[in-house]
Amino acid sequence: MGKAGALIVAHDNVRKYMSAEHFNELFNFKVPPSPLSALPVITFTETVTFHLNGDEIHAFHVAPAHTDGDAIIFFRKTNVIHMGDNYFSGMYPFIDIWSGGSVNGMIAAADQVLSMINDNTKKFSCVVFIP
């Protein structure tokens, strides 16, 4: 996406993780460092807010859940929450302990989001596994 011109934003730990080779024991494969064009250009520690298309988009880091670089994205005006790999629909969540994830963090992230939503909140998630 970076090669296509997308501005990639992520938590500080995501850039650190993607910049180095690592080994995933669960899937028994080595992941090489990502190319420079795939790395986040903007990183944040706790929160960052974007003001785009009349909405306020708030990204915030949560306790290590799926990984130690997890962030939740909340579109305040449109009341949309994107949880990424912190929410798995219809399946048991994948907690990447090799990347700093934890069960307690998954529970804490869910609790944090549950305290923010109402009956009109739209929730989205996506799961991408790269073997």
Dihedral, 105, 72, 126, 14 alpha carbons, nearest 10: -80
Q: Output the domain CATH number for residue 25.
A: 3.60.15.10
Please count the structural domains in the chain. 1
74 occurs within a structural domain: yes
Its domain, for residue 103, covers 9-124
List the chain pLDDT tens, one digit each, 131 residues: 888 989 999 999 999 999 999 888 878 989 999 999 999 999 999 999 999 999 999 999 999 999 999 999 999 999 999 998 888 877 888 898 888 999 999 999 999 999 999 999 986 555 555 44
Which amino acid makes up residue 117? Answer: I
Q: Rounded distance, CA 89 to CA 24, Å?
A: 23
* Residue 130 lies inside a defined structural domain of this protein: no
Instruction: Say if 131 falls within a structural domain.
Output: no
Torsion on CA atoms 62, 29, 131, 19, rounded to nearest 10: 50
